[in-house]
Structure 1
Amino acid sequence: MRAQVTDIAVTGIGLVTPAGIGLEPSWEGLCKGEGLAATDEALAGLPVDFSCAVPGFDGGALLGRRLTWRIDKFIQLAMVAAREAVADARLDTATWDSPRVAVVLGVASNGGDRWPIEYGNLGSGRVESISPATLPRSLPNMVAGEVSADLQAVGPCLTTSTACASGATAIGTARDLLRAGACDIAITGGTDCARVEMGSAAFYRMRALSMRGHDPAGASRPFDADRDGFVLSEGAGVLVLERPEYARARGARIRGYVSGYGASSDGYHHTRPDPTGDGARRATLAALADAGAEPCDVDHVNAHGTSTPLNDRSEATMLASVFGTRTPPPVTSVKGAIGHTLGAAGAIDAAITVLSLERQLIVPTANLDRLDDGMDLDVVTKVPRAHRMQGALSNSFGFGGQNAVLFFRAA
């Protein structure tokens, strides 16, 4: 597989996850291969009262009290990750050509942690008590707007929303802007904060969440025969993308390349994936074709792997279809450790995929004790696996039949 002239360079990464705040803490935490879910005071009294929380996150200390009063947590998470990504790329926001810097971020649920308070004020007739920041602190598009203002990146600015594929869709969209010459740099990724009462209650009513309350740390079990649902989480992943010629001209370190992007719709059901995996298969093949690659060029798959019975089965079926008689290359899902970050998932997965290619190491899937029957997958478990890799897929699928697949190439 040869480099494509349309490859886009990844020069910076920022992560805020339940495994840690920052790129290295998150990587090291994932390498431990341990489930990180625990009982959550914010969900006390609900049928599902556990989640994966970012440890020790203090938005006020990281961003300032005045700012964090004004913005919801999903924006705070993204802003911290974006600042790290820009610093990791060794970019100077004071000197860059800001109209040539785009911001494209994905959001699925945006949290809504303040809405119960404001609805309480409204229901009690206390309209004057409703915060004037209610809308701007929670509108999904505001995450891109706030990051744009914080970094003074004043090029194209938008938010994508394709459910749990949102972060991957954002990266693909940013890649397209760079290919089209609309910008030189793009700050892109995804964020979400689903650890809220309504989120837990609603997903519980859909029977989407794990009910393993007696063992929260073991609840998220991608591809395991005993999986029973996903675990709510929170986090953000942000990548800095650049046109390669721009990155090389400034002497940037290139961590890897976004080489292909494919998207599709199942057209099947509003929440269930197509059991044949056909929509995901089409997105995967489109990503490979976009990269000028074939299935034989894939050395690793960072799976969507939510730990739900239907999703994992559908994804395994899709991978078998794509790779035919060949057993798919080593697979992992970070959701076993950090749960499902919804709109941030595709971006966090993308970041870990780039790091895996760079470090030639695959992080393990937590809590996989017995692979489900009929899944012909080589899933990395328990400990990280050293593996020679040149190309890797990062899969993201969401409600509404949304599919987004990214193909990354090692630098």
Structure 2
Amino acid sequence: MNVLSGSILFWALAALACTVALALVLPGLMRRRAQPGMAQRAANVDVYRDQLRELEAEHAQGRLDADEFAAARRELAARLAGDALDPAVPADAPPAAASRRGLGYGLTLAFPLAALGLYFVFGTPAALTARPAAHPAGMAGAGHDFGALVERVERKVEANPDDAEAWVMLAKSYGVMQRWGEAARAYEKAAVLLPGDAAVLSGHAEALALGNAGRVDDAAMVWVRRALAADPNDMKGLELAGFRALDDRDYARAHDYFSRLHAQLPPELPYAQDILGVREEAARLAGLAPETAVMPAPADREAAAQIAGKVDIAPGLRAQLRAEDVLFVFARAAAGGPPVAAIRARAGDLPLAFTLDDSAAMNPGNVLSAHERVNLVARISKSGGPIAASGDLEGELPDVKIGTRNAVILIERVRP
């Protein structure tokens, strides 16, 4: 490369660097405020990590056998992927203030000039006309993105094709990336190793359907039938079978599938209400008599599926609070297991009124309203994450009935 071309390349790269820097800075000044749903998503990811640690601990203690542990890990991975893809609902926020826009415009002009001046003061302008010395090529940083994780799982199944759990994880990962053809092939491999696993069989059917513009064709129905033969209550299998029956105009059969599916869902879930609507339409088209199930009023249902109360800290521990400490409030099933609901707040807000309901659920299939009693835990995390650590402050209220309105959790001990 000659000196002239090297200079041109330098100035082109400098201009590109300024453009990239402005592209990173200006959107923060010009855009609307961030969406509030992201804080809940961050809390969910933290709690998922906590659940995985607890599953590993229970497995190590012998409370979960190998099959139960593997199934729980698969379910947890699927929930985490679904949550990561669930878009936050944007809030109605005012446009950026004029002062912020002015600052953005000022930076657009000042940033390149300042960079140029600093280079001539502190840099090496003479290098633009010097002959370049040989140097080793730099290595690009490895990005820990989802694609890299998928590649790791791909290598894992290549090294061990008999790892059924890895095939299931790979299939679900392909589904997250909407690579339905590859997801279907991975599910097919998993089904060979797990021929009686209804979730794997119906997952294969779903991948085939979504790869076919959402149409549940004959090939997908082969796997739906196998799934329902393995487990007549497999929810994904019932849903796919119901929509296929609607396509076939077999409305009575569709009504049967959707009735069996709806019977397994907590009625407060939006998904359950959607399925109920489809079931009622199938009943109308089939000429069936409408079902008149007596449902509690919405306000009664909402109150019945909540636990409300207050979290406070013992006076002797209040001096240990720091401004950056984070408070987590969990509800766990009375029999144990991962949290069914969780919220995150600032420890500095104590005493804090709280409400736990199905909107704080970690798994749409395991919501607070599906339980009669739970154990409540309040933890002040010194690290900012929900994983229990030495020095965290905790309190617990066991055996709380769903619908309780005056629960009091007192944080009164320090974890050793």
- TM class, shorter-length: under 0.3
Bigger fraction of residues in strand: 1
- Greater Rg, structure 1 or structure 2? 2
Q: Which has the higher contact order (CA 8 A, sep 6+)?
A: 1
User: TM-score under structure 2 normalisation?
Assistant: 0.25
Higher helix proportion (structure 1 or 2): 2
